[in-house]
Structure 1
């Protein structure tokens, strides 16, 4: 930084030009007496000279007129009250729509149709995809039978999965893979025909 400053100063002296960190102010200086001493001051809150733009000059005069006191004499107290009235913003007219099971309706919202692999697939009461109503009923019945046994522990997800797999294979005559968890999960599943269903019962998925 020092080298750059020296280089800039040397270049400026060679060209016999002054280098300013900011453009020089054209505001007039007035001599006033403060505590018996004469000092030079500039008018406060004055704007630098620029090309005249009528609409901006009017705004500037309104904004800064309370602060432009006389420097040569005693400062006068100027009180200006400006009241600005703005029209309220225009609100768009929105129509409330009711979409039934898609969340009770709302404003300007359109239900997104789920992208399911088969036309017979649907969203069950738990909010998950099922493609076979018989399979969903089998899942609920299996879980109900297990929880009816007082010795059954609901944390035993492996037993739930095994029972689901056995009953599904017996009912549909094909191999099944059953997954049970104590929390929601995402999976990429390969399935045969429409034999796929995910649901939730008592916090078990």
Structure 2
């Protein structure tokens, strides 16, 4: 048999089998509407992410990340290499970078880790962890916190920055070093 005839026979056998399967399926009484469709939980992974959130006070948060995974079960977004910028008229912008983070859009909260760097004006804050409470508008940095500003370095286990009042509070064994001073001071 030549190739053309073999191909024709193969196509006819395939069409016949397909037709027989259709007849059997239709004869069973099943319809497309009878087949239940169940959607799997929608977890997503994204590359090159940018989220923006504005508040009624005129402030604006922008989150950019290399990638993000949406966890449907808890409604959170885990991000890789996040960069967060906060702006508000009349205030110094706040720029935050970290290797990893998690954002809860429902509450407007975020957590970043492990090597967090926060910059605002001439002040830079270094820490292992940052938590942002969106409802209270408070940034808390924890673990090996170091605040560097021209002429001063401050170290503390925890520092709280209230964005509403622009007040920074350091607690838990604060150590500060002023350039040109003989010895650092220590608060207990």
The structure richer in strand per residue is 2
The structure richer in helix per residue is 1
Pair member with larger Rg: 1
Q: TM-score range by the shorter chain?
A: under 0.3
TM-score (norm 1): 0.16
Relative contact order, higher structure (CA 8 A, sep 6+):
1
